[in-house]
Structure 1
């Protein structure tokens, strides 16, 4: 076989080099294309992330007359009827029988340690139970609960219960309508020490309040719906329609816990009717606010300022929220299951409610045997337990958590729509969530101010009625000048 010529060899080598260069150029172009596609996708992802967190969504349309009644005839009685609370002898006898049963079994369930880390401590529950059985003055308390005027009226097919107190003042004192909205496991009873303060003239103020305190649908004396979908924004519409039924087209709103969310939705949906919104649970529930809280752990004082210790350390706060939010998951998924169990045992119902009040009053309560029971009157706490027990409304009240979970997308949208209504926040020391004013203003751009106290917890109306009432006066005075 004849050897290849020099020219031929060089030509083949040149072709090989060209092919290598072509291959390298092809790989480079492919890498460039892939990199460009990845960069575009990442850019789109970040843009979508930015839009989802910062863009203000459009306000959904709601049916302001949606029918929640058990029938479909929509024949509505628009009258306002007097109502009176009754504790019957049969109710007391039923409780006595159940109490005797519990008393015989109680020693079998002693707590494992000297704290509430496993839940309600058996010794504290025993004392609470003994107070209920031997010291709770049934007749006196029913007179106390009836000391204000109670009414019922039908709103969108449901009989809604409310307390209505009109002040008796001179003509030179203005009377301003305000609706006080409770949460869970509270009731209208939470505001009974607040009402007299709000309806009494005080130095430096030329106004008092005409107070309306409703029971939320499904809570104690307000009728529950048999239909799904009654989330907090639907209740906000019912509360607004209640105020219009009473005769107030413009009014103030105050709320905490669920009352905060309902009041916030009222301000968002009806900015021309709500004159001002006061909350003792000032929180922005948007995802951006939560993200800022997480990233803020890198530099807590930059986010929380002088009150950063109420927001951080993040690990400690998250651990607390995770540990104490089990009830929320249960009620948000299987409310009827736990509701039926609680409604068949007065002591079980009391233990369940007591656990929430004590822990959310001050998280350190769980480190003692007493659990903080000394901070709130047992009689006051039992008023709420009794109201839930005799109305058999625990199950229907728990369903609000399920509806809020199921309709969380709409709840999120409303939480991101800013409201122009003047707003004021009261921060208690042991509140579950703390946020600085600049984060609150994303949702409440007309936030005129906040008050930060070194006392109290989540249930301000029951724990610190005077401080709450005084702060409402301060807020409304600012609202009137706005």
Structure 2
């Protein structure tokens, strides 16, 4: 070390400058020529630049790699999978009821115990029990379930066994077709706490558009299945039944119906199931239309806190700013207010399910509260939750009855546990993009607005993005004509490409 210090003292600069000027000493005690040090520095710089360039290339390549989910198989029925071939027959089905079923409902309604609401609480504490009394009175004394069953049976119902589960669906074909034309097959998937009944008012705009004021250039035949564990579709007997398993079953359903290529549409869980179908079998999906998008894994979501002040920089439009800001109120507080149910259902669904499956009044309060604030968040300021401003009581109670009469509320809630119970980004599909032509309808009162750049990050082949003039989470139920028009717009753009 003394020798090193002496040599450095002989240098015209200080020791520290000497070292920076490449006067280096090896661990073996020998000196390195400054020129050799420069060569080593250049070498490490080249390695560093090569590594950075390789990372950048990898990032771009991996980012745009068109991955697909593996198309596996499953068995979700009770017990072990039978050795024989599964019955692939498609059987007609009819919704039925009985006086015993209705009498049991009425007896349970008569025994309901309600807690008086706080003064001026409106819907800020949940469903206001004063208004609930009015709904229960209508349900008990005026609602005609037998008549609603007839309405449900207006469309053809079927069941078929897939992966051990009886899958229920309606299949509605056009009443008439222009000469030489074939209808476009469209799979429409509901979410929670909805049902296939959500699509009853949109179906005529899709299957018989000319009779409902729309052109006949796009005529669809519509298939609306029940998610397994919802309504008339059998619930899984085994753990792990998630949206990917549902997507695979619905894909098999479409093949069984004879459709090699088809369109898919959905919101809520339906949006994720349809997305998964596109990730599983992109060559079979002609187009994907959504009115909700799960796009939280995106660079753009990190820009939320600053987006109001740097909207142009982050690609946000003025409409985006209106729908997302102030951030604390329209995003943070809104999600905190509306996501309590999700935490319960993603962790302990069976506990609350016991209560809801035993009390029709409790079930109605639990579900109808979502049809209030998810339709428009400001409805929580109203004594009646604004429910009848957008829906009829007959329609709302019909949806409730589909959960009540089938006893499916607990199994429907388990879907949250299976999809969210493993943690954030635990599933491969959450990290994958979707390379199928996509259309998106952004309804202004959706729980969380998804700007176009968010959607395009997850769905690079986004060809249609629409700011809808009104409407919320239950788009097909609330604004059937608007949603039908946007589906038609998307298909028109796609077919002209």
User: Aligning the two structures, in what range does the TM-score lie when normalised by the shorter sequence?
Assistant: 0.7 to 0.9
Q: Deviations over 1:431-473 (max 9, x none)?
A: 1122222221111111111121221100001111111112111
Distance 2:287 2:16 in 1: 71
Distance 2:443 2:247 in 1: 24
Please, which of 302, 309, 316 is the counterpart of residue 322 of structure 2? Answer: 309
293-302 or 153-162: which moved more? 293-302
385-394 or 432-441: which moved more? 432-441
* 1:398 matched residue in structure 2: 413
Please, which of 136, 156, 160 is the counterpart of residue 149 of structure 1? Answer: 156
* 2:490 matched residue in structure 1: 475
- C-alpha RMSD over aligned residues: 2.9
Q: Secondary structure at the match of 1:190?
A: helix
In the superposition, relative to structure 1, how do residues 25 and 226 fare at CA in structure 2: closer, same or farther (>3 Å)? farther
Q: Secondary structure at the match of 1:223?
A: coil
Distance 1:200 1:58 in 2: 36
Distance 1:412 1:331 in 2: 18
Distance 1:55 1:201 in 2: 40
Select the structure that is richer in helix.
Answer: 1
Correspondence 1:38-49 to 2 at 5 A: none
Distance 2:189 2:310 in 1: 36
In the superposition, relative to structure 1, how do residues 311 and 301 fare at CA in structure 2: closer, same or farther (>3 Å)? farther
Please, which of 65, 90, 107 is the counterpart of residue 80 of structure 1? Answer: 90
1:464 partnered with 2:473: no
* 2:432 matched residue in structure 1: 417
Q: TM-score, normalised by structure 1?
A: 0.86
For the Cα contact (< 8 Å) 1:174–1:207, is it kept in 2?
no
Distance 2:209 2:197 in 1: 22
In the superposition, relative to structure 1, how do residues 448 and 58 fare at CA in structure 2: closer, same or farther (>3 Å)? closer
Please, which of 262, 265, 281 is the counterpart of residue 270 of structure 1? Answer: 281
Distance 1:216 1:286 in 2: 25
Q: Secondary structure at the match of 2:183?
A: strand
Could you tell me which runs of 5 or more consecutive residues in structure 1 were left unpaired when the two chains were aligned: 1-13, 27-39
Distance 1:410 1:429 in 2: 27
Q: Secondary structure at the match of 1:401?
A: helix
For the Cα contact (< 8 Å) 1:59–1:414, is it kept in 2?
no
Q: How far did residue 251 of structure 1 move?
A: 0.3
119-128 or 253-262: which moved more? 119-128
* 1:225 matched residue in structure 2: 236
In the superposition, relative to structure 1, how do residues 129 and 25 fare at CA in structure 2: closer, same or farther (>3 Å)? farther
Q: Deviations over 1:324-365 (max 9, x none)?
A: 111111111011111111101000000000111111000000
For the Cα contact (< 8 Å) 1:116–1:371, is it kept in 2?
yes
Please, which of 173, 180, 189 is the counterpart of residue 181 of structure 2? Answer: 173
Q: How far did residue 268 of structure 1 move?
A: 1.8
* 1:442 matched residue in structure 2: 457
Q: How many residues align?
A: 449
Distance 1:410 1:325 in 2: 18
* 2:208 matched residue in structure 1: 200
Distance 1:294 1:57 in 2: 30
1:364 partnered with 2:378: yes
Q: How far did residue 73 of structure 1 move?
A: 1.1
Distance 2:66 2:439 in 1: 25
Q: How far did residue 299 of structure 1 move?
A: 2.3
* 1:338 matched residue in structure 2: 352
For the Cα contact (< 8 Å) 2:187–2:224, is it kept in 1?
yes
Distance 1:365 1:128 in 2: 17
Distance 1:74 1:452 in 2: 51
Distance 1:428 1:129 in 2: 31
For the Cα contact (< 8 Å) 2:97–2:146, is it kept in 1?
yes
Could you tell me which runs of 5 or more consecutive residues in structure 2 were left unpaired when the two chains were aligned: 20-47
Please, which of 466, 480, 484 is the counterpart of residue 451 of structure 1? Answer: 466
In the superposition, relative to structure 1, how do residues 447 and 60 fare at CA in structure 2: closer, same or farther (>3 Å)? closer
In the superposition, relative to structure 1, how do residues 115 and 25 fare at CA in structure 2: closer, same or farther (>3 Å)? farther
Distance 1:201 1:354 in 2: 31
Distance 2:298 2:284 in 1: 28
* 1:238 matched residue in structure 2: 249
